[in-house]
Protein backbone atom coordinates (compact mmCIF):
# COMPACT_ATOMS: atom_id res chain seq x y z
CA UNK A 1 0.00 0.00 0.00
CA UNK A 2 2.86 2.40 0.78
CA UNK A 3 4.52 1.65 -2.54
CA UNK A 4 1.25 2.11 -4.39
CA UNK A 5 0.69 5.44 -2.68
CA UNK A 6 4.22 6.61 -3.51
CA UNK A 7 3.68 5.76 -7.20
CA UNK A 8 0.50 7.84 -7.17
CA UNK A 9 2.42 10.74 -5.61
CA UNK A 10 5.14 10.33 -8.23
CA UNK A 11 2.55 10.69 -11.00
CA UNK A 12 0.90 13.62 -9.22
CA UNK A 13 4.27 15.36 -9.04
CA UNK A 14 4.79 14.78 -12.75
CA UNK A 15 1.40 16.30 -13.54
CA UNK A 16 2.11 19.24 -11.24
CA UNK A 17 5.38 19.99 -13.01
CA UNK A 18 4.11 19.53 -16.57
CA UNK A 19 0.46 20.53 -16.55
CA UNK A 20 -0.18 23.23 -19.19
CA UNK A 21 -2.70 25.12 -17.05
CA UNK A 22 -0.97 26.73 -14.00
CA UNK A 23 -4.33 27.39 -12.36
CA UNK A 24 -5.27 23.73 -12.45
CA UNK A 25 -5.88 22.06 -9.12
CA UNK A 26 -3.17 19.55 -9.89
CA UNK A 27 -0.67 22.36 -10.52
CA UNK A 28 -0.79 23.62 -6.95
CA UNK A 29 1.75 22.78 -4.29
CA UNK A 30 0.07 20.06 -2.24
CA UNK A 31 1.07 17.71 0.55
CA UNK A 32 4.03 19.85 1.64
CA UNK A 33 3.84 19.77 5.44
CA UNK A 34 7.28 18.40 6.28
CA UNK A 35 6.49 17.70 9.96
CA UNK A 36 3.39 15.71 9.09
CA UNK A 37 5.15 13.81 6.31
CA UNK A 38 8.02 12.91 8.60
CA UNK A 39 5.61 11.79 11.30
CA UNK A 40 3.52 9.58 9.00
CA UNK A 41 4.59 8.20 5.60
CA UNK A 42 8.34 8.74 5.93
CA UNK A 43 8.30 6.98 9.28
CA UNK A 44 6.43 4.08 7.65
CA UNK A 45 8.96 3.96 4.79
CA UNK A 46 11.80 3.89 7.31
CA UNK A 47 10.23 0.95 9.15
CA UNK A 48 9.82 -0.89 5.80
CA UNK A 49 13.38 -0.02 4.71
CA UNK A 50 12.02 1.86 1.69
CA UNK A 51 13.09 5.38 2.59
CA UNK A 52 16.04 5.49 0.20
CA UNK A 53 13.92 4.27 -2.71
CA UNK A 54 10.69 6.18 -2.10
CA UNK A 55 11.47 8.90 0.43
CA UNK A 56 10.91 11.84 -1.93
CA UNK A 57 7.36 10.65 -2.61
CA UNK A 58 6.38 9.96 1.03
CA UNK A 59 4.15 13.02 1.20
CA UNK A 60 0.79 11.56 2.23
CA UNK A 61 -0.89 10.12 5.30
CA UNK A 62 -3.34 7.55 3.99
CA UNK A 63 -4.05 5.51 0.89
CA UNK A 64 -6.92 3.38 -0.32
CA UNK A 65 -7.52 0.96 -3.17
CA UNK A 66 -10.85 0.43 -4.89
CA UNK A 67 -12.20 -1.61 -7.75
CA UNK A 68 -15.42 -1.48 -9.78
CA UNK A 69 -16.76 -3.84 -12.38
CA UNK A 70 -18.53 -3.17 -15.65
CA UNK A 71 -21.43 -0.75 -15.78
CA UNK A 72 -24.76 -1.64 -17.42
CA UNK A 73 -23.71 -0.16 -20.78
CA UNK A 74 -20.14 -1.48 -20.45
CA UNK A 75 -18.63 1.99 -20.03
CA UNK A 76 -16.03 2.83 -17.34
CA UNK A 77 -16.99 6.06 -15.57
CA UNK A 78 -14.54 8.27 -13.65
CA UNK A 79 -14.99 11.65 -11.96
CA UNK A 80 -12.36 14.30 -12.60
CA UNK A 81 -11.45 14.77 -8.99
CA UNK A 82 -11.88 12.44 -6.03
CA UNK A 83 -13.02 14.19 -2.83
CA UNK A 84 -13.32 12.83 0.66
CA UNK A 85 -15.05 14.26 3.72
CA UNK A 86 -12.13 13.23 5.91
CA UNK A 87 -9.50 15.21 4.02
CA UNK A 88 -7.68 18.06 5.72
CA UNK A 89 -9.46 20.98 4.08
CA UNK A 90 -7.85 23.50 6.41
CA UNK A 91 -4.48 22.55 4.91
CA UNK A 92 -5.66 22.72 1.29
CA UNK A 93 -5.82 18.95 1.00
CA UNK A 94 -9.48 18.72 0.05
CA UNK A 95 -8.88 16.42 -2.89
CA UNK A 96 -6.99 13.18 -3.57
CA UNK A 97 -4.72 12.34 -6.52
CA UNK A 98 -5.91 9.09 -8.06
CA UNK A 99 -4.29 6.59 -10.44
CA UNK A 100 -6.47 4.17 -12.38
CA UNK A 101 -5.83 1.06 -14.44
CA UNK A 102 -8.20 -1.12 -16.44
CA UNK A 103 -7.48 -4.81 -15.99
CA UNK A 104 -9.13 -7.97 -17.24
CA UNK A 105 -10.30 -10.37 -14.54
CA UNK A 106 -11.19 -13.98 -15.30
CA UNK A 107 -13.99 -15.15 -13.02
CA UNK A 108 -14.50 -18.68 -11.73
CA UNK A 109 -17.09 -19.45 -14.40
CA UNK A 110 -14.65 -18.54 -17.16
CA UNK A 111 -16.19 -15.14 -17.88
CA UNK A 112 -13.75 -12.28 -18.41
CA UNK A 113 -14.70 -8.75 -17.31
CA UNK A 114 -12.93 -5.42 -17.33
CA UNK A 115 -12.39 -3.96 -13.88
CA UNK A 116 -11.30 -0.46 -12.94
CA UNK A 117 -8.66 -0.57 -10.20
CA UNK A 118 -7.78 2.71 -8.52
CA UNK A 119 -5.47 4.02 -5.83
CA UNK A 120 -6.16 7.23 -3.89
CA UNK A 121 -3.81 9.11 -1.57
CA UNK A 122 -4.96 11.48 1.17
CA UNK A 123 -3.81 13.95 3.76
CA UNK A 124 -6.53 13.16 6.25
CA UNK A 125 -8.21 15.60 8.59
CA UNK A 126 -7.86 13.11 11.45
CA UNK A 127 -4.09 13.25 10.97
CA UNK A 128 -4.24 17.02 11.45
CA UNK A 129 -5.95 16.39 14.78
CA UNK A 130 -3.38 13.75 15.70
CA UNK A 131 -0.53 16.11 14.94
CA UNK A 132 -2.05 18.87 17.04
CA UNK A 133 -2.46 16.41 19.91
CA UNK A 134 1.11 15.20 19.50
CA UNK A 135 2.64 18.67 19.64
CA UNK A 136 0.50 19.61 22.65
CA UNK A 137 1.44 16.41 24.49
CA UNK A 138 5.10 16.69 23.52
CA UNK A 139 5.19 20.28 24.77
CA UNK A 140 3.88 19.17 28.16
CA UNK A 141 6.51 16.40 28.28
CA UNK A 142 9.24 18.99 27.67
CA UNK A 143 7.85 21.11 30.51
CA UNK A 144 7.98 18.12 32.87
CA UNK A 145 11.57 17.23 31.86
CA UNK A 146 12.70 20.83 32.36
CA UNK A 147 11.09 20.97 35.80
CA UNK A 148 12.69 17.67 36.86
CA UNK A 149 16.13 18.87 35.73
CA UNK A 150 15.74 22.19 37.55
CA UNK A 151 14.63 20.53 40.78
CA UNK A 152 17.44 17.99 40.76
CA UNK A 153 19.97 20.79 40.26
CA UNK A 154 18.67 23.08 43.02
CA UNK A 155 17.00 20.97 45.72
CA UNK A 156 18.86 18.13 47.39
CA UNK A 157 15.66 17.00 49.13
CA UNK A 158 14.34 15.68 45.82
CA UNK A 159 17.34 13.42 45.34
CA UNK A 160 16.29 11.30 48.32
CA UNK A 161 14.15 8.21 47.88
CA UNK A 162 10.55 8.62 48.91
CA UNK A 163 10.75 6.13 51.77
CA UNK A 164 13.29 8.40 53.50
CA UNK A 165 10.62 11.08 53.93
CA UNK A 166 9.03 8.92 56.64
CA UNK A 167 12.03 9.45 58.97
CA UNK A 168 13.91 12.59 57.88
CA UNK A 169 17.21 13.43 59.58
CA UNK A 170 16.49 17.15 59.94
CA UNK A 171 13.38 16.72 62.14
CA UNK A 172 13.43 16.06 65.91
CA UNK A 173 12.68 12.44 66.73
CA UNK A 174 9.68 13.34 68.92
CA UNK A 175 7.83 15.12 66.11
CA UNK A 176 4.90 12.90 65.12
CA UNK A 177 3.66 14.44 61.86
CA UNK A 178 5.00 16.95 59.36
CA UNK A 179 4.42 18.30 55.87
CA UNK A 180 6.88 18.40 52.97
CA UNK A 181 6.54 20.05 49.59
CA UNK A 182 4.47 17.84 47.30
CA UNK A 183 6.45 15.04 45.70
CA UNK A 184 6.05 13.97 42.09
CA UNK A 185 5.40 10.43 43.34
CA UNK A 186 1.83 10.41 44.67
CA UNK A 187 2.43 7.19 46.64
CA UNK A 188 3.78 9.46 49.37
CA UNK A 189 0.57 11.48 49.45
CA UNK A 190 -1.56 8.32 49.59
CA UNK A 191 0.51 6.74 52.37
CA UNK A 192 -1.21 8.52 55.27
CA UNK A 193 -4.61 7.19 54.15
CA UNK A 194 -3.36 3.62 53.60
CA UNK A 195 -1.62 3.46 56.97
CA UNK A 196 -4.42 5.01 59.00
CA UNK A 197 -7.26 2.99 57.44
CA UNK A 198 -5.18 -0.17 57.78
CA UNK A 199 -4.64 0.48 61.49
CA UNK A 200 -8.31 1.35 61.94
CA UNK A 201 -9.30 -1.95 60.37
CA UNK A 202 -6.93 -3.79 62.68
CA UNK A 203 -8.59 -2.17 65.71
CA UNK A 204 -11.83 -3.89 64.70
CA UNK A 205 -10.33 -7.22 63.64
CA UNK A 206 -9.83 -6.24 59.96
CA UNK A 207 -13.51 -5.46 59.71
CA UNK A 208 -14.42 -4.64 56.12
CA UNK A 209 -17.37 -2.40 56.99
CA UNK A 210 -15.42 0.11 59.06
CA UNK A 211 -12.65 0.25 56.40
CA UNK A 212 -15.15 0.97 53.63
CA UNK A 213 -16.75 3.73 55.69
CA UNK A 214 -13.33 5.23 56.34
CA UNK A 215 -12.63 5.23 52.60
CA UNK A 216 -15.70 7.35 52.04
CA UNK A 217 -14.58 9.95 54.59
CA UNK A 218 -11.56 10.83 52.42
CA UNK A 219 -13.77 12.69 49.97
CA UNK A 220 -15.18 14.83 52.80
CA UNK A 221 -11.92 16.26 54.17
CA UNK A 222 -9.28 17.40 51.65
CA UNK A 223 -6.53 17.94 54.23
CA UNK A 224 -4.82 14.62 55.16
CA UNK A 225 -3.73 15.87 58.60
CA UNK A 226 -7.24 17.09 59.45
CA UNK A 227 -8.69 13.84 58.10
CA UNK A 228 -6.31 11.86 60.35
CA UNK A 229 -7.42 13.84 63.40
CA UNK A 230 -11.05 12.98 62.66
CA UNK A 231 -10.26 9.30 62.06
CA UNK A 232 -8.50 9.01 65.43
CA UNK A 233 -11.30 10.83 67.24
CA UNK A 234 -14.05 8.69 65.69
CA UNK A 235 -12.14 5.46 66.39
CA UNK A 236 -11.57 6.50 70.02
CA UNK A 237 -15.27 7.26 70.49
CA UNK A 238 -16.32 3.88 69.12
CA UNK A 239 -13.73 1.98 71.17
CA UNK A 240 -14.88 3.68 74.39
CA UNK A 241 -18.53 2.91 73.70
CA UNK A 242 -19.92 0.42 76.20
CA UNK A 243 -22.31 -0.99 73.62
CA UNK A 244 -21.30 -1.84 70.12
CA UNK A 245 -24.65 -0.88 68.60
CA UNK A 246 -23.86 2.79 68.14
CA UNK A 247 -23.63 5.29 65.32
CA UNK A 248 -21.77 4.20 62.21
CA UNK A 249 -18.12 5.18 62.05
CA UNK A 250 -18.71 7.56 59.14
CA UNK A 251 -21.49 9.32 61.07
CA UNK A 252 -19.32 9.64 64.19
CA UNK A 253 -16.54 11.06 62.03
CA UNK A 254 -18.79 13.72 60.47
CA UNK A 255 -20.42 14.70 63.77
CA UNK A 256 -17.08 15.08 65.55
CA UNK A 257 -15.52 17.15 62.76
CA UNK A 258 -18.50 19.48 62.49
CA UNK A 259 -18.85 19.85 66.28
CA UNK A 260 -15.17 20.59 66.89
CA UNK A 261 -14.21 22.46 63.71
CA UNK A 262 -17.49 23.70 62.27
CA UNK A 263 -16.99 21.65 59.12
CA UNK A 264 -15.48 18.45 57.80
CA UNK A 265 -13.61 20.66 55.29
CA UNK A 266 -10.89 22.24 57.42
CA UNK A 267 -7.13 22.13 57.78
CA UNK A 268 -4.14 23.26 55.74
CA UNK A 269 -1.92 21.81 53.02
CA UNK A 270 -4.78 20.14 51.16
CA UNK A 271 -4.04 18.99 47.62
CA UNK A 272 -7.57 18.72 46.26
CA UNK A 273 -10.99 20.23 46.68
CA UNK A 274 -13.80 18.60 48.62
CA UNK A 275 -16.12 16.37 46.65
CA UNK A 276 -19.33 16.98 48.62
CA UNK A 277 -21.77 19.81 48.05
CA UNK A 278 -22.30 20.93 51.65
CA UNK A 279 -24.95 18.57 52.91
CA UNK A 280 -26.37 15.12 52.36
CA UNK A 281 -29.22 13.06 53.71
CA UNK A 282 -28.66 9.97 55.79
CA UNK A 283 -30.09 8.00 52.91
CA UNK A 284 -27.46 9.37 50.53
CA UNK A 285 -24.74 8.71 53.08
CA UNK A 286 -25.53 5.06 53.76
CA UNK A 287 -26.42 4.31 50.15
CA UNK A 288 -23.01 5.70 49.18
CA UNK A 289 -21.23 3.43 51.65
CA UNK A 290 -23.16 0.40 50.45
CA UNK A 291 -22.49 1.33 46.80
CA UNK A 292 -18.78 1.73 47.55
CA UNK A 293 -18.71 -1.81 48.95
CA UNK A 294 -20.50 -3.14 45.86
CA UNK A 295 -18.19 -1.17 43.54
CA UNK A 296 -15.14 -2.67 45.25
CA UNK A 297 -16.57 -6.15 44.71
CA UNK A 298 -17.25 -5.26 41.07
CA UNK A 299 -13.67 -3.99 40.63
CA UNK A 300 -12.42 -7.39 41.75
CA UNK A 301 -14.36 -9.06 38.91
CA UNK A 302 -13.30 -6.89 35.97
CA UNK A 303 -10.31 -5.21 34.36
CA UNK A 304 -12.46 -2.51 32.76
CA UNK A 305 -11.24 0.47 34.77
CA UNK A 306 -13.51 2.93 32.99
CA UNK A 307 -16.62 1.05 34.05
CA UNK A 308 -15.39 1.00 37.66
CA UNK A 309 -14.86 4.77 37.60
CA UNK A 310 -18.23 5.37 35.96
CA UNK A 311 -19.87 3.34 38.68
CA UNK A 312 -18.16 5.21 41.52
CA UNK A 313 -18.98 8.65 40.09
CA UNK A 314 -22.67 7.96 39.49
CA UNK A 315 -25.36 9.25 41.84
CA UNK A 316 -26.20 7.11 44.90
CA UNK A 317 -29.54 6.12 43.36
CA UNK A 318 -27.65 4.74 40.36
CA UNK A 319 -25.03 2.82 42.33
CA UNK A 320 -22.48 5.59 42.90
CA UNK A 321 -21.15 7.78 45.70
CA UNK A 322 -22.61 11.10 46.74
CA UNK A 323 -20.52 14.04 45.51
CA UNK A 324 -17.55 11.91 44.38
CA UNK A 325 -16.05 12.84 41.02
CA UNK A 326 -13.34 11.15 38.93
CA UNK A 327 -10.44 12.53 40.97
CA UNK A 328 -11.66 11.20 44.32
CA UNK A 329 -12.77 7.96 42.66
CA UNK A 330 -9.19 7.37 41.49
CA UNK A 331 -7.93 8.13 44.98
CA UNK A 332 -10.38 5.68 46.57
CA UNK A 333 -9.44 2.93 44.11
CA UNK A 334 -5.71 3.43 44.68
CA UNK A 335 -5.98 3.26 48.46
CA UNK A 336 -8.48 0.38 48.45
CA UNK A 337 -6.00 -1.56 46.30
CA UNK A 338 -3.12 -0.94 48.70
CA UNK A 339 -5.34 -1.98 51.60
CA UNK A 340 -6.07 -5.30 49.89
CA UNK A 341 -9.78 -4.59 49.42
CA UNK A 342 -9.36 -4.42 45.63
CA UNK A 343 -7.22 -7.26 44.33
CA UNK A 344 -7.21 -6.35 40.61
CA UNK A 345 -4.31 -3.91 40.75
CA UNK A 346 -4.53 -2.62 37.17
CA UNK A 347 -7.27 -0.14 38.14
CA UNK A 348 -4.97 1.99 40.28
CA UNK A 349 -2.29 2.00 37.58
CA UNK A 350 -4.50 3.80 35.04
CA UNK A 351 -5.02 7.33 36.35
CA UNK A 352 -6.44 9.92 33.96
CA UNK A 353 -7.00 13.66 34.04
CA UNK A 354 -10.46 14.20 35.51
CA UNK A 355 -12.51 16.87 33.69
CA UNK A 356 -13.63 18.44 36.98
CA UNK A 357 -10.07 19.30 38.08
CA UNK A 358 -7.94 22.42 37.75
CA UNK A 359 -5.42 20.28 35.84
CA UNK A 360 -7.95 19.74 33.06
CA UNK A 361 -8.79 23.44 32.84
CA UNK A 362 -5.12 24.33 32.60
CA UNK A 363 -4.51 21.73 29.91
CA UNK A 364 -7.31 23.30 27.88
CA UNK A 365 -5.36 26.56 27.95
CA UNK A 366 -2.28 24.71 26.64
CA UNK A 367 -4.21 23.23 23.70
CA UNK A 368 -5.91 20.07 24.96
CA UNK A 369 -9.12 19.98 22.95
CA UNK A 370 -11.57 17.88 24.94
CA UNK A 371 -12.02 15.17 27.57
CA UNK A 372 -10.98 12.45 25.15
CA UNK A 373 -7.70 14.22 24.45
CA UNK A 374 -7.16 14.74 28.19
CA UNK A 375 -7.69 11.02 28.79
CA UNK A 376 -4.92 10.23 26.28
CA UNK A 377 -2.28 12.56 27.67
CA UNK A 378 -1.22 10.48 30.72
CA UNK A 379 -0.53 7.28 28.68
CA UNK A 380 1.40 9.40 26.15
CA UNK A 381 3.53 11.03 28.85
CA UNK A 382 4.11 7.69 30.55
CA UNK A 383 5.52 6.28 27.32
CA UNK A 384 7.45 9.46 26.50
CA UNK A 385 9.02 9.87 29.96
CA UNK A 386 9.40 6.13 30.68
CA UNK A 387 7.70 6.44 34.06
CA UNK A 388 4.60 4.93 35.61
CA UNK A 389 1.23 6.49 34.89
CA UNK A 390 0.77 7.39 38.56
CA UNK A 391 4.03 9.33 38.75
CA UNK A 392 3.39 11.02 35.40
CA UNK A 393 -0.13 12.10 36.37
CA UNK A 394 1.16 13.77 39.52
CA UNK A 395 4.10 15.40 37.76
CA UNK A 396 1.62 16.80 35.28
CA UNK A 397 -0.41 18.34 38.11
CA UNK A 398 2.70 19.83 39.74
CA UNK A 399 4.17 21.35 36.58
CA UNK A 400 0.85 22.97 35.73
CA UNK A 401 0.56 24.37 39.26
CA UNK A 402 4.00 25.91 38.76
CA UNK A 403 3.16 27.34 35.33
CA UNK A 404 -0.13 28.84 36.50
CA UNK A 405 1.24 30.13 39.81
CA UNK A 406 -0.52 27.84 42.29
CA UNK A 407 2.45 26.05 43.88
CA UNK A 408 2.89 25.39 47.59
CA UNK A 409 1.01 22.09 47.87
CA UNK A 410 2.29 19.77 50.60
CA UNK A 411 2.41 16.06 51.42
CA UNK A 412 1.78 14.93 55.01
CA UNK A 413 3.92 12.23 56.62
CA UNK A 414 3.69 10.49 59.98
CA UNK A 415 6.46 8.84 61.92
CA UNK A 416 5.94 5.09 62.07
CA UNK A 417 4.07 4.94 58.76
CA UNK A 418 5.30 2.98 55.76
CA UNK A 419 5.31 3.59 52.03
CA UNK A 420 2.96 1.39 49.98
CA UNK A 421 3.56 0.70 46.30
CA UNK A 422 1.96 -1.35 43.54
CA UNK A 423 4.72 -3.08 41.58
CA UNK A 424 4.20 -5.59 38.79
CA UNK A 425 0.69 -6.39 39.87
CA UNK A 426 1.36 -6.81 43.60
CA UNK A 427 1.14 -4.51 46.63
CA UNK A 428 4.39 -3.97 48.54
CA UNK A 429 5.37 -2.20 51.75
CA UNK A 430 8.59 -0.15 51.77
CA UNK A 431 10.11 0.57 55.19
CA UNK A 432 12.28 3.56 56.12
CA UNK A 433 15.40 1.62 55.09
CA UNK A 434 14.08 0.94 51.59
CA UNK A 435 13.35 -2.75 52.17
CA UNK A 436 10.37 -3.90 50.10
CA UNK A 437 8.14 -6.79 51.14
CA UNK A 438 4.58 -7.99 50.72
CA UNK A 439 2.27 -7.09 53.62
CA UNK A 440 1.10 -9.97 55.79
CA UNK A 441 -2.52 -9.33 56.71
CA UNK A 442 -5.71 -11.26 57.15
CA UNK A 443 -8.48 -10.89 54.62
CA UNK A 444 -10.94 -8.17 55.56
CA UNK A 445 -14.45 -9.41 56.36
CA UNK A 446 -17.62 -8.48 58.22
CA UNK A 447 -17.14 -9.33 61.92
CA UNK A 448 -19.02 -9.02 65.21
CA UNK A 449 -16.58 -6.43 66.59
CA UNK A 450 -18.29 -3.68 64.60
CA UNK A 451 -22.06 -3.61 65.03
CA UNK A 452 -23.40 -0.12 64.21
CA UNK A 453 -27.06 0.87 63.93
CA UNK A 454 -27.14 0.88 60.12
CA UNK A 455 -25.65 -2.40 58.90
CA UNK A 456 -25.68 -1.46 55.25
CA UNK A 457 -23.85 -4.60 54.13
CA UNK A 458 -26.79 -6.84 55.03
CA UNK A 459 -29.43 -7.73 52.45
CA UNK A 460 -32.18 -6.68 54.84
CA UNK A 461 -30.82 -3.15 55.16
CA UNK A 462 -33.11 -0.41 53.78
CA UNK A 463 -31.32 2.93 53.50
CA UNK A 464 -34.48 5.00 53.51
CA UNK A 465 -35.72 3.91 56.96
CA UNK A 466 -36.32 7.19 58.76
CA UNK A 467 -33.41 8.87 57.01
CA UNK A 468 -34.79 10.41 53.83
CA UNK A 469 -35.64 13.88 55.14
CA UNK A 470 -32.93 14.42 57.73
CA UNK A 471 -30.11 16.58 56.46
CA UNK A 472 -26.58 15.75 57.54
CA UNK A 473 -24.63 19.01 57.28
CA UNK A 474 -21.05 18.64 56.15
CA UNK A 475 -20.10 22.33 56.08
CA UNK A 476 -20.21 25.09 58.63
CA UNK A 477 -23.72 26.51 58.50
CA UNK A 478 -22.76 29.90 59.96
* pLDDT digit string, tens, across residues 272-304: 777 676 778 888 889 999 999 999 999 999 999
Query: Of 234, 175, 159, 194, which is closest to residue 414 (Cα–Cα)?
Result: 175
Query: Of 339, 353, 213, 327, which is closest to residue 274 (Cα–Cα)?
Result: 327
Residues paired with 412 in a beta bridge: 179
Q: What is the arithmetic mean of pLDDT over 311-327?
A: 88
Q: Helices (DSSP H) in 241-370: which residue ranges?
A: 249-261, 282-299, 305-312, 326-338, 358-366
Point out the least confidently predicted range of 25-39, 198-212, 300-314, 344-358. Answer: 25-39
165-199 b/e with 16+ CB inside 10 Å = b? bbeeeeeeeeeeebeeebbbbbbbbbbbbbbbbbe
pLDDT band at 464; cut points 50, 70, 90: low
pLDDT tens-digit profile of 189-210?
999 999 999 999 999 889 999 9
Residue spans of the domains in the chain: they are 2-123, 160-350+415-473
pLDDT band at 381; cut points 50, 70, 90: very high
Q: What is the arithmetic mean of pLDDT over 137-144?
A: 93
Percent of the chain with pLDDT strictly greater than 70: 87
Amino acid sequence: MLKAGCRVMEMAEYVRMNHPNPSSRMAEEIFRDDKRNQFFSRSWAEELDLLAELGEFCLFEATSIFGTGETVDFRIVKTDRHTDSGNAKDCGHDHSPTVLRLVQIKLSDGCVVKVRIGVNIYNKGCCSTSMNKYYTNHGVAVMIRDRDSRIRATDSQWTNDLHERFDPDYLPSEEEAWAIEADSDKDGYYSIFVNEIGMLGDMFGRDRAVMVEALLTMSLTPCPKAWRVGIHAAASILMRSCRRETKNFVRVYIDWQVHNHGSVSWGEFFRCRVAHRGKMTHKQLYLSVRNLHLAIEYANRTQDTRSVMNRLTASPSKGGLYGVGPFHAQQIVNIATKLGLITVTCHCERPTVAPSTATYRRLRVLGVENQRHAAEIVPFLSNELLESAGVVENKLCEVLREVFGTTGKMDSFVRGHFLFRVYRGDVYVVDIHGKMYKPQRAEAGFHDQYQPVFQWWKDSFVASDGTADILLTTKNGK
